[in-house]
Structures are given as structure tokens and as C-alpha cells.
Amino acid sequence: MNDMNLKFSKSHEYVRIENRLAVIGISQHAADQMGDVVYVELPQIGKAYSKDEEFGVVESVKAVSSLYSPVSGTVSAVNAELLEHPEWVNSDPYGKGWMLKLEMTSPTELDQILSQEQYDAEVSSH
Amino acid sequence: MPTLIFDQSIPGRRGVTIPASGVPERDLLELLGPELLRQSPPELPEQSELEVVRHYTRLSQLNHSIDTGFYPLGSCTMKYNPKVNEAVARLPGFADLHPYQPAEQVQGALALMYDLQSWLGALTGLPHVCLQPAAGAHGELTGILMIKHYHRHHGNRRTKVLVPDSAHGTNPATAAMAGFEVVTVQSNERGLVSVADLKAHLDDQVAAFMLTNPNTLGLFEEDILAISQAVHEAGALLYYDGANFNAILGAVRPGDMGFDVVHQNLHKTFSTPHGGGGPGSGPVAVSERLAPFLPVPAIVRRPDGSYALDFERPLAIGRMKAFFGNFGVLARAYAYIYAHGHEGLRQVSRDAVLSANYLKARLGDAYEVPFAQSCMHEFVMTSDRQKAQGVNTLSIAKRLIDFGIHPPTIYFPLIVHEAMMVEPTETESKEELDRFVEVMLQIADEVRDTPDLVNSAPHTAPIGRVDEVLAARKPNVRWRKPQTAR
Amino acid sequence: MSFNYLPLTDAQRRDMLSAIGVSGMEDLFAPIPRELRGFELALPSGHSELEVQQQLNRLAAQNRPLSAQRSFVGAGATLRFRPSAVDHVASRSEFSTAYTPYQPEISQGTLQVIYEFQSMIAELTGMDVANASMYDGASAAAEAALMACRITHRHRILVSETVHPEYAEVVRTYASGPEVAVETVPHRDGALDLEAVERLLGQDCAGLLVQVPNVFGCLEAVRAAGQLARKAGALFVVIADPISLALLEAPGAYGADIVVGDGQGLGNPVSFGGPHLGFMATRQEHVRQLPGRICGMSVDTRGKPCFTLTLQAREQHIRREKAASNICSNQALNALVATLYLALVGKTGLVELASVSVQRAHHLADRLVGMAGLELAFPSQRFFNEFVLRADRPADRVLAELADRGILGGVPLSRWYAGSERDLLVTVTETNSPEDLDAYLAALSASRRSSAQERSVEVPATAVDHATV
């Protein structure tokens, strides 16, 4: 299912473009590996990140993982509802489980990250 | 709902009576002032003494403890806590001493600390000892800060600390807390530090390598002399995590292996009780070159044989806590060492190692043991075979509870899948070890024949498995007084 | 050789070796390089339990416990009333010989105690959440300073000069690792100098640490200090004496962001300075930056409410180098003691204990300042149950006069502060009976009379010194 036109980083974040904004979250595979997500720590609106910079943290009961921005940009929105509903990261990572939206500063970076097919291959090889 | 002590409160009831002041009283508003006088008292329970005693006695009965059952919890050294230790620590001559009493009033306490320092120095081969740290991790922070100050004093601002991938979580956490970048060193196929990978990471930015020996797999790092040489040639120091010291008491000394600093866990090796999570005590012992950096005050013996506190240590890192350390824990450790003596402590490590190897030999057929060589005081096995049958390590651990046995440490070290780390200690009888073997073999059979029985364990504990996701998603971490309807 | 804690017999050891398939213990120690084995161990020989008791009794007898004298010594560790039931219940080995409650099914006792402890600390401090304990008040203060840096992403801490000097020193030691700057705010007349606070606070300051009652026993202008901190975007960290919070406003009510302190007085013996316990409480929004263990309520598979350690992703065993702190062992047994104490003393009792301490302290202070050669060092400040007595002679001399009558008169401030040679911190609690107060006064008035007589017969000063040592 790639009707969302998802792209992925090797550190398991996805990005999809919606109204020229980069919508970022973690892949279904990553969510499954974490187990039940209990908390997501997200940045403040207006903060700028470069590609591969840490922007937050996702926690399950027994694991914690840093989140890295797959592209460079400035935060224009965060999914504050995840504070109340962290389970959405597991149940609907590409939809209600999105984490933040970035105004990209270098949209060409999208060309450097993995397609769905490449990501699936990467994941299944491990 | 579990009944909380607050729920049983009845206004006006009391557990103790307090004497009257017996002096002419002044108005509290006048004495304390309007800015800070509290408007309504804290909502503490209102209970009679019997109700309080009963509430907490009943709670105690919900616990597993060493005194009620076997506790083969790897890395934690849950040995028997001798009762004489408890008796002596409560003597008024120790318990009712104030840290600021004049030295001449506390000579016995200082003598105890001085002797304990020298004994820990003898056991570690590192003669300079500070008893101040309150726990193992606190000792780690003390040691790593000393290393930081040592390098700074010599004009180096080294930025990195190396830890093995099998390390206790406190090692990387400590290094980070002390402002270092943490770099992980890989283990080799035998479960030991890869000397090649270590050397690849050693450069002039490395301040220290933190190591547990035997390591968290219960394996002695045979290449320790090569490791020590490589670390020191790079200008770094070698840190010894004393969590596994019980394995080598009197058998080999960290100082002789080349370590520069070691912390002890008196609540593990030296038999002081864990208390449900503390208090511990984490003395550090260091080599000559780190001695000037030890925290203040030092306890010294004067030429006339009296003991004193010495604050004149210009290079000291400072203080790690108020006063001198967890003295009550030190008194227990003193009693333990005094009871065993050198021959007894040597027998402690021999029996601890023997018991672990015995369990490993007897369980090796039913469970996978990933590292075949002989272990020290603990060993790691896995439930890989059982997982293929649909039962994971967590369930095996929970099933042990039904037999009155505390689960081993599980899912640690991180480099072993489905890990179960077993540390019997030297204080368990062979009969108890054999019973543990029988139970583990029975569980292996159950995994094959009745896996649901294991997967739904525990069955006899006060509660079943806990919904930890709920606890973390919707944290409820305190009682609040119910709001009364208006 | 056999030992009472080592149950294996030689025959069993042989059986076990053969089950393992080795010929002797040396085979099991073979991984240890041979050249490291075989050294002299400079330790005593083993002793029977009776001899252990005798040895420890002998050492204890070389000390002079507080209970054998009239003690007015405090400054962070104080002899206080300890209800008998506290030790009786806390000594149950189901509590004392249990490990950290990582297996909730068989640790509900310890876990519920932690939950109740957290609740009591939250009530006392007026904060939302508390953790399961820290090593002591000083290290809790240091952890609070680092926590303020994490929350604000700033690297400078202000510590009031009126914070217990050993606490301030621990803050500086902890801060030396991550190179957090620690600056001291001077005091004016025994309390925080608010003008200096305003001057030193800047946009780069992570936190302001204030103690109340402070190390001189004085109350602080906490509301003003908290407002200044908030205005600068710094966290307001309050170090509090939990017993004083029966009468003093909860720090949460005047804007504290983090509250820490030492709970020794809550039923724990002084024990030469440890083990005590630290406590730490904060606002809900900062709970994920709180170091240490936290217990929460949940349900089990059958839907039964129960307790478990929670929010563990903050901790070292999960987050490793990114953990909020490296703390692992805490002071659980001392926190149990504090919980038992607060349950027994209760809502009314804690207020009464605090009031008795305050009344007796003020009574003693009032009477002392009426005596020649004695005054309060900070007469303009309100105080709680400790105050600084200033003499016309060295504090050590005053202490010696009191020691002659079996009184431990206080802590000389010259221990920490230059120029305080005549100052003595006097601590009064419910354990100091009215007779103790009278004895204190009598000792000092008697010494005035005798030194007056000595002066009148022109005794050389050295002889006087000798007589009072």
C-alpha cells in the first residue's frame, strides 16, 4: 500500500508530503518492534531541524528510541493528540499516529531516502 | 482496590501522642509570619498504632524476600543477610551518633570506618578507599568524576568513555551524567570484550574504559592484562564495576588486573540487605594516581593512634553526599568481613562459583547455554528452544513464582536473546539448588506439554501479571484526597 | 573449614565438582591469569558470632551516643522522636531482604509502600508527583540542579549561600561533570539577598536553589525569590525539611518547580550521617525528567488494581546513556521508615511535633538573648526550630562550657563560614525537654559566673582554656 507515497529513513521514520508539508512519524515495522507505545516526546512549533537530527523520543514500557528527522525543515505542527493517545502510533502510524509536520528547507533530500520498496527490503534483510 | 493507609483514615484518630511543649507558648502566626504559615495541614493518615502495624505487616506478607525463598537474581547477589549485622548496626553507640559530634566522641565509629577502608583496600588491591558513596551507581559516578578531574588536572580534556555492549545500564548512564560521550565496545563470539574492537576505539579522546570482571555473562575476561595494557597505553584509565565482585573475593584483585578505580556494592558482596531497593553503599578504592582526587573528608589515623577527619585535600572532587556515607551499612559490612576473615571470604567466592557452575551443568540439557566455558558466580542461559515451542523467557520467569522461587534476571545482558541470568550465591544449600533444578526441568516439560499453564503464570501470587502499558500511559502515582461534594 | 553462612559440606562440594565434570575448584578459576592468583590477604581471621558481637560492642562503647547526653546538634541530621512501631515493622525481613520490586507479582508490599510514600511526600510538599527516594537531601539537591538544566536547556545554577554548605558542595561536585556553572547568591543577615538574586539571574540560568528553613534556621522570602526565578525562566528549586512542612506553607503553593529534602527526621536514626533518605517532588509536566524510581497503580490480568514500577524508560536500565540519572539503588528501606512514621504520627501528630519544636526553640532563644554575652546572629529573621547564637567569645569555648554539663550545644558555624568563630547553630526539637532547655541555660549562666570569678582573681587565660577543654 503505497498510495500515500511514503518514504523512509534507515532509522525507521517515514515522511509523506501533504499540502507541501513533510508529515513525519515512525514506520509500522518500527512501531511493531517497540511494542505498545506509551509516550511520545515532540518538539515545539517553530524549531528547526537538519536532516538526521534528533527531534524527539518514543517510549514503550521496556524500550525507548530517539526520533530523527528524515529531512531538514522547520516544525509547523505537532500531533499533540498523541499525548493522550500514544496507542495511535501502533494502530495507525501513517494516519492518526503522525508526529510532526515540517516546512522543508531542502526538498531534494527526499530523493536521498528510501522508497517503500527499498525500506521493505532493508527491513526484511535484518 | 487495594486499601491504602489513607483510605482507612478516621478524623481525630491518632497513632502516637506528643508531649506538650512545657514552655510558655507564643502565637505561631507571630513566630512564623503570615507569608509562610501553612493554611491547612498536610493530608496525612489518622490511624491508631494497631491499624498502622497491621496494614504494613500485611503488606510485608505480599513480598518475596531472601528470608522467605530462593532469589537467584543474576547480577544482584541476593545472598543471606546475617542477623548479627542487623543487631550491631542498631547499637545506640552507632545508631545515635551525629556526624558533627566532636571526633573524640566518635572514635569507635571512625575506627570502624578506617579498618573497613583498609580491608576493602586489601581485597581490591587498591589501597586508597572512600566510603562516602551511597550505592553502586553513586560509586560509579564518584569514580568517573575522579577520572574526569584527573585528566583535567593533567591538562587533558578527554571526551569519551568506552563501555562493553554487555555493560550494566548504570555504566553508560554514569559516563553520560559526568559529561562524557559513551562509545560501545563489541563483545566477541565467546562473550568477552573484543580486544580488537577495543583497540579500534582507543584514542587520545578516551578517558576511561568501564568493565565488569567477571562480566555480566558471568565470564571472566581472560584478556584482562592485554586490555589493561592497551587502555593505559592510550592514556586512559580502567574502571572496575564491582557488581560482580562476589565471584573473585580473595581469588584475584582488580588492582592486580590493572584497574585504577573500583566501586564496591556492600549490599551485594558484603551481605547488607537490599531493603526493597536500598539503602546500599558504594565505596570506591583507587590507585595511587587517583588518590588525591578522592572525595572529602578522608578518615585518617594520627600518630597517637586516634582517628580524625581530614578535609585538607586540595585536588578532591568535592563531596558526593552530606556527611560520611551510609554508616549503618558500613557497620554491617564490617561485621560480615570480621566474621568471615580472609579464609572465609575466599570460601565465599569458591562456593559462589561452584554453585553457579553446578546449576549450569545440570540445566544445560534443558535450556540453551550460549557460552560453554566455565562461568564464575553466575551464568546466562536462554529460552530460545522454549520460545520455538511458544513460551518466552518472561513466562518461564513468571512460572517460577508459582514454586516460591524468585525469577532470575531476564532479558539482560542485552546481547543475548531471551536471556535468563542465574546467580545462586554461596549461601544456598545443595538441597535448595537441586530443588531449583527440578523446578526448572519441570517447567521445561510444561513448556512442551502444557504451554498455556506457563504462559498464564503466575497462578499462586497475590496478583497476576500487571498491565504495565496502562501504568505508563495513564500514570497514577499518588493518592489524592477525594473531593467532597459541595 | 565450615562457616555458619556457608551451607555446603566438603562432601557436597566434591559431588558438585564431579557433576560439573572438573577435578577441582582451580579448574573453575582457570580463566584467571595464573600470575594474578595467590596473594596475601591482609585481613583478620574469621570470628564466631559471639566474637563479632563483642568486637562491635567494643567499638560502639568507644562512642558517646546522643542518647547519653543532651543534644542540640542538627544541621541536616537531627535526633528526633522515633515511635517504637516504626522499627518493629520496618525490621520485618519480608521488607528488608527483598530486592527492588521489578517483579510486581511478588512485590506488592514494597510497591504499595512506595506509592504511599510518594503520596505523603506529594501532600507535604504540595507537588503533583514524587519519586521513590534519593540517597539523601544533598544528592537530591544536586539531581534537582541537573534536572533543571535538562528542562531549561541551560547550564548555570544559582545556589543560595544559606543552603547547607555540604549540599552546595555536592551540587558543585555533580555539576563538575557536565560543566554546569554553579554560582553562590550571598546572604544578607542570614537570609537570601533578593537584590543579588535579581542581579545574578539571567536568561541563561537554569535554576535557583533555596533552602527553607535555611542552614541558619531562618525562613526565607520564598514567594519573592520564586517570582524572580520564574521571571527569568529559571526553575525554582526548594530544599525543605519535611517536618517543618506541617506548619510551613507547601512549596507547591508558592510556585516551587522541584522540591527536595532529607527525610532522616521521619523516623530514621541519625546513624552517624547515614543511611538517611532524600526525597524529590515536582510538577506533573516534569515527571518524565524526574530521576529515580516511580511506582504507579495499574491492574492485573484479572482486572484487579495493583502496583508496579512505571515510567521506567527514564531510567538507566532502559535508557542507558540517555537516562535522566544513573541512580539505581535508592533508600527504599528508609523511605519505608518514613512512611511508617508519617502514618503513625499522622495529620495531627506532625503538627504537634513541629509546634513543640518551634515553641521550645523560641523559648530557649528568648532566654539566651537575655543573658550577658549572648545574642542572636540574625535577630531580624524569623526562624523555625534552629537558630544561630552569637557569643562574645569563641563558639568552641561556649561548646566546651556546655560539654562540661553533658550538653552537646550545637554546631559551630566556623566549620563552614569564615568569620563565624563566635556563631553556633542551635537545634531544638521535641526531644529536648524543658529540663534540657533549663540545663542549657544553667550551664551558660554558671560558666559566666565562674569565668567572672576567674577573671576577678586574674587566672591566666591559658589556665582558663585548659579548664574548659
The CATH number that applies at residue C422 is 3.90.1150.10
Q: Which residues of A touch C288 (CB under 8 A)?
A: 39, 41
Maximum distance among all Cα pairs of chain C, rounded to whole angstroms: 90
Please check whether residues B355 and B299 belong to one and the same domain.
Answer: no
Q: Which positions 23-82 of C are in contact with B (Cβ < 8 Å)?
A: 25, 27-33, 36-37, 39, 41-49, 52-53, 55-68, 71, 73, 75-77, 79, 81
**Which residues of chain C lie closer than 8 angstroms to A59, CB-CB?**
313
Both C165 and C277 in one domain: the answer is yes
pLDDT(A113) > 70: yes
Chains contacting C (3+ CB pairs below 8 angstroms): A, B
**Contact residues on chain C for B19, CB-CB shorter than 8 A:** 356, 430, 433
User: Closest Cα of chain C to A26: distance in Å?
Assistant: 18
pLDDT of residue A3: 60
Q: Hey, are the CB atoms on A38 and B473 less than 8 Å from each other?
A: yes
A26 inside domain:
yes
C312 secondary structure, DSSP code: G
Domain boundary among C292, C309, C341: C341
* CATH at residue C316: 3.40.640.10
* Residues facing residue B382 across a β-bridge: B368, B419
Q: Is a pLDDT exceeding 90 seen at residue C457?
A: no
User: CA B170 to CA C34: how far, in whole Å?
Assistant: 31
Q: Is residue B74 part of a domain?
A: no
Note whether A61 contacts B468, CB cutoff 8 Å: yes
**End of a domain among C341, C356, C371?**
C341
Is residue A21 a part of any domain in this protein?
yes
- Statement to judge: residues B128 and B186 lie in one domain: yes
Q: Does any domain span residue A2? A: no
Boundary (domain end) residue, out of C290, C324, C341: C341
Answer for the pair B316, C140: CB distance below 8 angstroms, yes or no.
Answer: no
What percentage of chain C exceeds 70 in pLDDT?
95
- Inter-chain touch A62–B469, beta carbons under 8 Å: no
* Contact state of B472 with A62 under an 8 Å Cβ cutoff: no
Interface test with B, best of C57, C329, C438 (most B CBs within 10 A): C329
Strand partners, B299: B309
Question: Cβ contact (<8 Å) for A66 and C312?
Answer: no
Which helix H or strand E contains A66, and what residues bound it?
strand A64-68
Decide if A63 and C322 are in contact by the 8 Å CB cutoff.
no
Grid coordinates given for A22: 513533510
Do C190 and C271 share a structural domain? yes
C interface mutation test: which of B7, B8, B13, B18 has the most C CBs within 10 A?
A: B18
Lowest pLDDT segment from B61-65, C52-56, C360-364, C457-461: C457-461
Cβ distance C273 to B324 under 8 Å?
Answer: yes
In this complex, do B177 and C63 lie within 8 Å of one another by their Cβ atoms? no
* Eight-class DSSP state of C218: B
Beta carbons of B473 and A39 less than 8 Å apart: yes
Among B37, B81, B323, most C C-beta atoms within 10 A, so best to mutate, is: B323
Domain count, chain A: 1
Q: pLDDT band for position C467 (50/70/90)?
A: very low
| C351 shares a domain with C326 | no
B316 in the same domain as B412? no
Nearest CA in chain A to B467: A61
Same domain (yes/no): B269, B127 = yes
Q: Which of B49, B119, B137 sits opposite C329 (nearest CB)?
A: B137
Query: Do B329 and B391 lie in a common domain?
Result: no
Q: Are residues C388 and C415 in the same domain?
A: yes
User: pLDDT value at position B180?
Assistant: 98
Contacts of A86 in chain C (CB under 8 A): none
B441: containing domain: 347-471
Q: Do B473 and A86 touch (CB under 8 A)?
A: yes
Same domain, C334 and C217: yes
- Determine whether B241 is exposed, middle or buried from the number of CB atoms within 10 Å of its CB (0-12, 13-18, 19+): buried
Q: Check A38 against C312: CB less than 8 A apart.
A: no
In angstroms, the CA B313 to CA C91 distance is: 39
Query: B381 and B320 share a domain?
Result: no
Other CB atoms within a 10 A radius of the CB of residue C21 amount to 10
Q: C246, C354 in Cβ contact below 8 A?
A: yes
Residue A17, domain member (yes or no) = yes
A34, A37, A38, best to mutate vs chain B, most B CBs in 10 Å: A38
Q: Which residue of C has its CA nearest to A83?
A: C285
B351 shares a domain with B334: no
Q: What percent of chain C has pLDDT over 90?
A: 91
- B375 is a domain residue: yes
Residue C460 has pLDDT above 90, yes or no: no
Which of B417, B469, B477 would you mutate first to test chain A, the one with the most A CBs within 10 A? B469
Domain region containing A66: 7-124
Name residues 457-476 of chain B within 8 A of A (Cβ).
468-469, 472-473
Q: What is the CATH number of the domain that holds B459?
A: 3.90.1150.10
Query: How many beta-carbon pairs below 8 A join chains A and C?
Result: 18
Q: Please tell me whether residues C195 and C310 are part of one structural domain.
A: yes
Dist. CA A102–CA A79, nearest whole Å: 12
Q: For C186-230, where are the E strands, in sequence order?
A: 187-188, 191-192, 207-212
d(CA C292, CA A84): 24
**B71, C99 contact by CB (below 8 A):** yes
Cβ distance C275 to B149 less than 8 Å, yes or no, reads no
Instruction: For residue A69, tell me if it sits in a domain.
Output: yes
C56 within some domain: no
Question: Does C379 reach chain B within 8 Å, measured CB to CB?
Answer: no
Same domain, B144 and B244: yes
Would you state the cell numbers that stand for residue C351, as one nine-digit string?
503538627
* Alpha helix (H) residue ranges in C246-331: 316-319
Which residue does chain A place closest to C319, by CA atoms? A64
| C153–chain A Cβ distance below 8 A for any pair | no
Return the higher-pLDDT residue of A124 and A28: A28
d(CA C132, CA C115): 8
Q: Is the residue at A24 inside a domain?
A: yes
Nearest of C410, C404, C373 to residue C388 by alpha carbon: C410
Rounded to the nearest integer, the mean pLDDT of chain C is 94
pLDDT at C3: 72
Calpha distance B405→B390 (Å, rounded): 22
Quick one: C327 and C352 in the same domain?
Answer: no
Q: What is the predicted pLDDT for the residue at B485?
A: 52
Which of A42, A64, A67 is best to mutate for the C interface (most C CBs within 10 A)?
Answer: A64
> According to the model, what pLDDT value does residue A124 have?
85
- Structural domain contains residue B477: no
Residue B31: inside a domain:
no
Nearest residue of A to residue B473 by CA position?
A38
B436 plus B324 within the same structural domain? no
- The answer to whether position B62 is within a domain reads no
Looking at residue B2, what is its pLDDT? Answer: 78
B374 lies in the same domain as B232: no
Residue C437 has pLDDT above 70, yes or no: yes
Whether the per-residue pLDDT at C122 is higher than 50: the answer is yes
Q: Quote the pLDDT of residue C134.
A: 98
Report the chain C residue with the minimal C-alpha distance to residue A59: C313
User: Does the structure show a pLDDT above 90 at C409?
Assistant: yes
Domain total of chain C: 2
Q: Over its length of 486 residues, how does chain B's per-residue pLDDT go in tens digits?
A: 679 999 999 999 999 999 999 999 999 999 999 999 999 999 999 999 999 999 999 999 999 999 999 999 999 999 999 999 999 999 999 999 999 999 999 999 999 999 999 999 999 999 999 999 999 999 999 999 999 999 999 999 999 999 999 999 999 999 999 999 999 999 999 999 999 999 999 999 999 999 999 999 999 999 999 999 999 999 999 999 999 999 999 999 999 999 999 999 999 999 999 999 999 999 999 999 999 999 999 999 999 999 999 999 999 999 999 999 999 999 999 999 999 999 999 999 999 999 999 999 999 999 999 998 999 999 999 999 999 999 999 999 999 999 999 999 999 988 899 999 999 999 999 999 999 999 999 999 999 999 999 999 999 999 999 999 999 999 999 999 998 654
Kindly report, residue by residue over C246-257, the tens digit of the pLDDT.
999 999 999 999
- pLDDT score of C452: 60
Same domain? B154 vs B220: yes
A-proximal residues of C, 286-325, CB under 8 Å: 288, 312-313, 318-319, 322
- Per the CB < 8 A criterion, the answer to whether B199 and B246 are in contact is no
Range of the domain at C245: 84-341
Is A79 inside any structural domain? yes
Listed by number, the residues of chain C in 411-430 with a beta carbon closer than 8 Å to a beta carbon of chain A are: none
Q: B64 in a domain, yes or no? A: no
* Residue B480 within a domain: no
> For residue range B414-443, what is the model confidence (pLDDT) as tens digits?
889 999 999 999 999 999 999 999 999 999
On whether residue C128 sits in a domain, the answer given is yes
Nearest residue, CB atoms, C318 vs list A39, A41, A62: A62
The answer on pLDDT for C456 being more than 60 is: no
Contact (Cβ atoms closer than 8 angstroms) between residue B176 and residue C176: no
A57 Cα to chain B: minimum distance (Å) = 15
pLDDT of residue C463: 37
Does a structural domain hold residue A1? no
| B24 inside domain | no
| Residue B256's CATH number | 3.40.640.10
Residue C99, in any domain of the structure? yes
Q: C58: distance to nearest CA of chain B, Å?
A: 8
In this complex, do A63 and C318 lie within 8 Å of one another by their Cβ atoms?
A: yes
What number of CA atoms fall less than 13 Å from residue B1's CA on the CB side? 8
Question: Which CATH number belongs to the domain containing residue A65 in this structure?
Answer: 2.40.50.100
Asked if B83 is an interface residue toward chain A (Cβ–Cβ < 8 A), one would say no
Residues C424 and C451 reside in one and the same domain: yes
Nine-digit cell string for B129: 578507599
| Domain stop point among B339, B366, B385 | B339
Residues B334 and B367 in one domain: no
Quick one: pLDDT at residue B414?
Answer: 86
Interface A:B, Cβ pairs < 8 A: 14
Give me the residue from B14, B224, B319 closest to C166, CB to CB: B319
User: Are C172 and C203 contacting, i.e. CB atoms less than 8 angstroms apart?
Assistant: no
State the cell numbers at B153: 588536572
Give the model confidence (pLDDT) of C61-74 as tens digits.
999 999 999 999 99
Q: Are residues C288 and C415 in the same domain?
A: no
Chain C residue nearest residue A66, CA to CA: C322
Q: What stretch of H or E contains C130?
A: strand C129-130
